[in-house]
Amino acid sequence: MKLRISAALAALFIAFYTPFSYADDATRARVVEALSAYESVPSQADWEKMGDVGPELLALSQDTAGSPSVRSRATHALGYFPTDSHRDWLVSVLSDTGARSGLRRSACYALANGWDDEALPLIRPALVAEDKQLRNAAARAVGGIGSPAARAVLEERLATEADPMVLSTLKSLLGR
């Protein structure tokens, strides 16, 4: 019996599950265009004017076959739509060592922008990542939070960071 229920649930899951979905073509086109400017990116206010496009951004962020730049920018913009599912997705991107460095950096900034101090434990692993550009971005993202707790995280990292570039960023963020 248990097996039959499991099989039925699995069939239902397969029937209705899609890895990502778009609300409608017009909304998707609007979001993709906003993410396709050569020299600019939408601000938080710009995103708020577009309404709740979080689901479209999540779909674009998860679309591994899509344009890498749109994907990276969509990932970053999820920080302006701070839901639990977005946070979980961003954490998974940040921890994916096989992903492009730029995508992981975008996830890092998104977490800082969307969750402030709550993001500190989520970003902390990036501060010790092998990729120095990711460490540097993590330091900047934490610095952007600007709280006493964020400052304490930077102080802690300053004591152990060895790379001159990241050290320089940490010192600059701490006003030293």
Measured from the CB of residue 37, what is the shortest distance to another protein in angstroms? Answer: 5
34 contacts another protein (rule: CB under 8 A) = yes
User: Which one, 2 or 49, has the nearer CB to another protein?
Assistant: 49
Q: Give the DSSP letter of residue 99.
A: S
What number of other Cβ atoms are within 10 A of residue 110's Cβ? 29
Measured from the CB of residue 25, what is the shortest distance to another protein in angstroms? Answer: 11
49 contacts another protein (rule: CB under 8 A) = yes
Torsion of CA 147, 150, 152, 153, to 10 degrees: 180
Q: Give the DSSP letter of residue 160.
A: T
Select from 13-21, 88-96, 136-144, 154-162 the region that touches another protein (CB under 8 A). 136-144
Binding residue for another protein, selected from 69, 85, 92, 147, defined by CB under 8 A = 69
CA distances to 45, 87, 95, 128 from 124, rounded to whole Å, are 28, 15, 11, 7
**DSSP state letters, 99-134:** S-HHHHHHHHHHHHHHHGGGGHHHHHHHHT-S-HHH
* Interface residues toward another protein, by CB under 8 A: 29-30, 33-34, 36-41, 43-44, 46, 49, 65, 67-69, 72-73, 76-77, 100-102, 105-106, 108-110, 112-113, 132-133, 136-137, 140-141, 144, 163-165
